[in-house]
Structure 1
Amino acid sequence: MTTPSDTSVGTGFLDVGDLRDPPMPGHFTGTPVELEARLALRANGCVTVVIGGVERVPLWPDGTDVVEETTDPRRYVVSLPGGLRLTVDTGRADTFVARGVVDGSSRPFEVEPGLPTAISSFLAFCKIVAQPVAFPDAASFTVPKP
């Protein structure tokens, strides 16, 4: 799990690198497909995405940064490699299209039974029931024209 150096700017987030350390074989094995998503913000500070009406925890491309930009109102900025910035707050949320993979495995995100990983800990913190979604390629992100 990636966390900002200044803990006052957010609760952290996941990126696809979290699947490699420790290795999480069997997860996100499908072929990436184009997904339309809208950012969402939970009261606990988790920045999530809504795809087809289902809220999911995203694993952002490596090099992404998610920070709390303001606290009143709470506004978070997702900065992707290449310069694209997406924002979400209590009143509005950006929509984007990107190639992603919804995890098709129901196996827990753990290396040893009962030993949590950064991914399993973050999923438990965010309290999202649906399987997470991984966005491995920052270059696939676009923002639809209004």
Structure 2
Amino acid sequence: MSARRDLRAALEETAALRRQLAAERAALEDAESRLAIGGRQYSDASDRIVRQATELCELRAELASTQRQLAATQRQLDDATGMDDPAVEAGAQWQSRREDLPAVPQPITPAPRRPLPRRTSAETAARRLLASTEADLDDLMSRPA
């Protein structure tokens, strides 16, 4: 009898171990599946970042090219209209050299202010009392101390 009990106990223990092994295998498969999904998501995100960085570089190059073309076009326009003439550039400051304008007086700057003296706590309390009660100053002065 004892051998049967031992055999039955061993079979039950084996069955319990098999269930535990099956549960651990399922958990492992789930973890591997999640890792694969996460890896794909990470890979997709890194591919997207690389793609966007490449587009950014291309857009910066295109911007620089457009700015160079704009500067060249502006130089051509200045040449065509005579804006690059030294006489035009010399006349750019003609307003400041006009003789018919009166001299502009310099603005008067106020003297720097001295800081106000700090209030004592009694003065601060009195000001708060005045502000909170809207009391008349004569009434406050007539009160006994």
Q: TM-score, normalised by structure 1?
A: 0.09
Greater strand proportion: 1
For the pair shown, the structure with the greater C-alpha radius of gyration is: 2
| Structure number with higher relative contact order (C-alpha < 8 Å, ≥ 6 residues apart) | 1
Q: TM-score, normalised by structure 2?
A: 0.10
